[in-house]
Amino acid sequence: MTAPTRVTVLGAGILGAATAHHLARRGAHVTVIDADTRNARSTTASFACVNGSAKTDPGLSALNDRAVEEYRRITHTLGEAAVRFTGQHFVATDPDSLRIAEQRVNAARSRGYGGEILPVDALREREPHLRLDTPPLAVAWFPSDGWADPEALRAHFLTGLITHHRKATAISPTRSGRLQITFADGDRTETDRVVNATGAGAADIELPVSRPPLHVTPGFVVATDTATDLVTTVVRTRQLGIRPDGSRRALLHSHDIDRLFDHDQTTAERAAETLLNRARRMFPDAGHITPRRITRGSRPTPADGKPAIGESANLPGYYELSAHSGITLAPLLGRLLATEILTESRDPILSPFRPDRH
Ligand SMILES: Cc1cc2nc3c(=O)[nH]c(=O)nc-3n(C[C@H](O)[C@H](O)[C@H](O)COP(=O)(O)OP(=O)(O)OC[C@H]3O[C@@H](n4cnc5c(N)ncnc54)[C@H](O)[C@@H]3O)c2cc1C
């Protein structure tokens, strides 16, 4: 009998966790390693909307649509706590967002993903607590979207696996065709394959090959306790993204607040206050909205905005796994990458996202 392939997964965020899960299920000998820099983990700071509606690039849309399908396929194993298909409202209150809403609906419909422009009054019926300062020009509705609880998902994927807390600093080939990982304390280990799912930390790991350039931008969410359920679906307006986060809980996010961290060096307290004030203005009759958790994280994205996934052509056995929209993509990418590592069967949907495309 041949020994199982030894695979080391660096990074226990959602992408590493999903891949480790599928590798272990397929019989690999998996070691999960995480530097445990919790505040920097993108997964913990995520808005975690599971969606195919936000992409219009054909390759990315196809990938996201399939990733949403993957969630539906495995929902029964994840349980209600981990993912909810509530649908998403995208509310356009200015010409720019109107154009985006129409583009997304047209793209989603043409792919059969599902999307429609609703009569503007419909939002009032569906989300009765919501008040908008500016009347909407259009409300786009994407019934197949939803949201996930990233920590519940991570816990599910890591069940039965031990996470070793160490910081990897370098990966290099050995003479015998294996890979050597060096750690911050100078210790070293050898393995057959390495998956680099270290998110924003990936750029700090020394490699003998070049890797896809990464943009790391700040991201910020506020988890709240609320007197009543503010929304039943994911709602995106220019001012605020809001979604349910369990009973009498909501999650708040806004892209313009994320950008403030870059430009203004704003503080987490100021950003949270702004998001909370926006939420209080948009839900004036809903009673108290108080912060439960304020999370500032980072959003690692390959520079061309597309995931980088697969084996490096110049470093056999070394696999990249880096993506924005990682919550949406993780269950699918984890399964496809594990299959590829252990059987060498490559799914064509990943062709546009190979790490050596640059
Ligand atoms: C505000 C915000 C909103 C978002 N909204 C959405 C959304 O609505 N939908 C969606 O799909 N996605 C969303 N995302 C993106 C999504 O959260 C990320 O794509 C995803 O979490 C990335 O997961 P990851 O596993 O690659 O990285 P991470 O979660 O960052 O995990 C990487 C792990 O690697 C570890 N690590 C780092 N360096 C080393 C090292 N040298 N050695 C060992 N371990 C190391 C870290 O400790 C960390 O645990 C959002 C992100 C943010 C910040």
Same domain, 293 and 168: no
Q: For position 37, what pLDDT does the model report?
A: 64
* pLDDT at residue 10, rounded to an integer: 98
Q: Please tell me the distance between residue 346's alpha carbon and the centre of ligand 1 in angstroms.
A: 24
Tell me the sheet residues that pair with 170.
Answer: 182, 206
pLDDT tens for residues 226-278? 999 999 999 999 999 999 999 999 999 999 999 887 666 678 888 999 999 99
| 54 falls within a domain | no
| Alpha-carbon distances, residue 216 vs 20, 42, 146, 322, 323 (angstroms) | 24, 10, 25, 11, 11
Asked if residue 291 is part of any domain, the answer here is yes
On whether both 194 and 333 belong to a single domain, the answer is: yes
DSSP 3-state of 271: helix
What are 118-135's pLDDT values in tens digits?
Answer: 998 999 999 999 999 899
274 and 314 co-located in one domain: no
User: 50 in a domain, yes or no?
Assistant: no
Residue-level pLDDT at 80: 63
For residue 43, the ligand 1 atom closest to its alpha carbon is: 21
Among the atoms of ligand 1, which is closest to the Cα of residue 167? 42
Q: How far apart are CA 308 and CA 2, in angstroms?
A: 31
**What distance in angstroms lies between residue 3's CA and the mean position of ligand 1's atoms?**
32
In a domain, 310, yes or no: yes
Q: Which domain holds residue 261?
A: 86-145+216-300
Q: Could you tell me the distance, in angstroms and rounded to a whole number, from the CA of residue 64 to the centre of ligand 1?
A: 17
Does residue 176 share a domain with residue 128? no
Cα(69) to ligand 1 centroid in Å equals: 21
Helices 150-158 and 14-25: angle between axes, nearest 10 degrees = 30
Candidate of 41, 55, 185 to mutate for ligand 1, largest count of ligand atoms within 8 Å of Cβ: 41
Gap from CA of 127 to ligand 1 centroid (Å): 30
What residues have CB less than 8 Å from 134, skipping those under 6 apart?
93, 94
pLDDT of residue 296: 86
Residues 152-164: tens digit of each pLDDT: 999 999 999 999 9
Rounded distance between C-alpha atoms, residue 142 and residue 147, angstroms: 12
CATH number of the domain residue 259 falls in: 3.30.9.10
- The residue whose two tokens read 């290099």 is 172
DSSP-derived secondary structure letter, 136: -
Ligand 1 atom closest to the Cα of residue 45 is: 53
Rounded distance between C-alpha atoms, residue 6 and residue 38, angstroms: 26
Cα distance between residue 179 and residue 176, in whole Å: 9
Which numbered atom of ligand 1 lies nearest the CA of 49?
8
How buried is residue 355: exposed, middle or buried, by Cβ count under 10 Å (0-12/13-18/19+)? buried
Residue 66 lies in a domain: no
Are 284 and 329 found together in one domain? no
Residue 298's pLDDT is what?
Answer: 86
Max avg pLDDT among 37-41, 194-198, 202-206: 194-198
| Arithmetic mean of pLDDT, 79-97 | 90
CA of 296 to the centre of ligand 1 (A): 12
Verify that 40 and 133 share a domain, yes or no: no
Would you say residue 11 has pLDDT above 60? yes
Residue 261 has a pLDDT of: 73
Note the pLDDT tens digit of each residue in 91-122: 999 999 999 999 999 999 999 999 999 998 99
| 241-244, strands of its sheet edge to edge | 116-118, 138-142, 88-92, 234-236, 241-244, 249-253, 214-226, 289-302
Query: Nearest 5°: phi and psi at 33?
Result: -125, 130
Please give the distance, rounded to the nearest whole angstrom, from the Cα atom of residue 329 to the centre of ligand 1.
12
CA of 201 from ligand 1 middle (Å) equals 10
CATH code of the domain in which 174 resides: 3.50.50.60
For residue 282, the surrounding DSSP H or E stretch is: helix 268-282
- Each residue of 31-47: pLDDT tens digit? 999 998 666 689 999 99
Query: Within this chain, do residues 160 and 274 fall inside the same structural domain, yes or no?
Result: no
More confident residue, 105 or 213: 105
Residue-level pLDDT at 260? 83
Test site for ligand 1: of 21, 43, 49, 295, most ligand atoms within 8 A of the Cβ: 43
Q: For 199-205, what is the mean pLDDT?
A: 92
| Residue whose entry in the numeric block shows the structure tokens 């996202």 | 353
Contacts of residue 331, defined as CB under 8 A and 6 or more positions apart, other chains included, come to 18, 67, 70, 71, 74, 153
- Number of domains composing the chain: 2
* Kind and range of the H or E run holding 229: none
CA neighbor of 258 nearest in space, from 314, 296, 226, 215? 296
Q: Same domain for 284 and 156?
A: no
Cα distances (angstroms) measured from residue 170 to each of 36, 38, 69, 205:
17, 21, 36, 5
User: Contact, 187 vs 174, CB < 8 A?
Assistant: no
Reply yes or no on whether the pLDDT at 3 is more than 80: no
Residues 131 and 222 placed together within one structural domain of the fold: yes
Going by C-alpha positions, the residue among 118, 131, 108, 100 that lies closest to residue 51 is 108
Q: Are residues 234 and 267 in the same domain?
A: yes
Q: Chain-wide mean pLDDT for the chain?
A: 93
Within 6 A (CB) of ligand 1 lie 10-16, 33-37, 41-43, 45-49, 167-168, 197-201, 204-205, 219-221, 253, 297, 299, 323-328
- Average pLDDT value for residue range 284-313: 92
Tell me how far apart the 2 most distant CA atoms of the chain are, in Å: 68
Taking the C-alpha atoms of residue 40 and residue 26, their distance in angstroms, rounded to an integer, is 30
Closest C-alpha residue for ligand 1 atom 33:
11
pLDDT in the model for residue 259: 86
Query: What is the spatial distance between Cα 263 and Cα 255, in angstroms, rounded to a whole number?
Result: 13
